């Protein structure tokens, strides 16, 4: 079971965000049965609330037998024409995500971008 959970976990993308604009994001810790956990970033403009992002992510992961918890949220400003992403803000419901962790995840996904973060702003 752990091996299956591990492979299901390895197929979960670390980052799924919209290609442009300003939108909410959540930092989610994903776990398989007996497998190590990993943190993933999900950010989309369709989400009115951080809970919308988390609930859809949890539903998708549950299909693969994975569980998750929300570590917090914030906002992303993604400007592809400038190759910049700025991470800031917080979630009223889930609290502030660790933007430093989110930034590292984004840097791995967008190595040629300038990625910054700040605790200020909403």
Active-site residue numbers?
50
C-alpha span between 54 and 16 (Å, rounded): 12
Asked whether residue 24 is marked as a ligand-binding residue, the answer is: yes
Identify the CA nearest to 32 among candidates 54, 8, 49.
Answer: 8
- Complete DSSP assignment for 22-39: EEEEEEEEEE-TTSPPEE
**Is 57:42 a contact under the CB 8 Å cutoff?**
yes
C-alpha span between 34 and 1 (Å, rounded): 7
Binding-site positions read 24
Binding-site positions for substrate read 24
């Amino acid at each position: 079971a752990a091996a299956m959970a591990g492979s299901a976990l390895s197929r979960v993308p670390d980052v799924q965000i919209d290609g442009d604009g300003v939108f909410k994001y959540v930092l989610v810790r994903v776990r398989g049965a007996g497998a190590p956990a990993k943190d993933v970033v999900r950010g989309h403009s369709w989400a009115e609330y951080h809970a919308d992002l988390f609930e859809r992510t949890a539903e998708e992961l549950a299909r693969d037998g994975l569980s998750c918890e929300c570590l917090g949220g914030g906002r992303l400003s993604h400007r592809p024409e400038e190759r910049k992403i700025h991470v800031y803000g917080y979630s009223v419901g889930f609290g502030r995500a660790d933007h430093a962790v989110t930034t590292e995840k984004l840097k791995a996904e967008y190595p040629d971008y300038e990625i910054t973060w700040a605790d200020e702003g909403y």
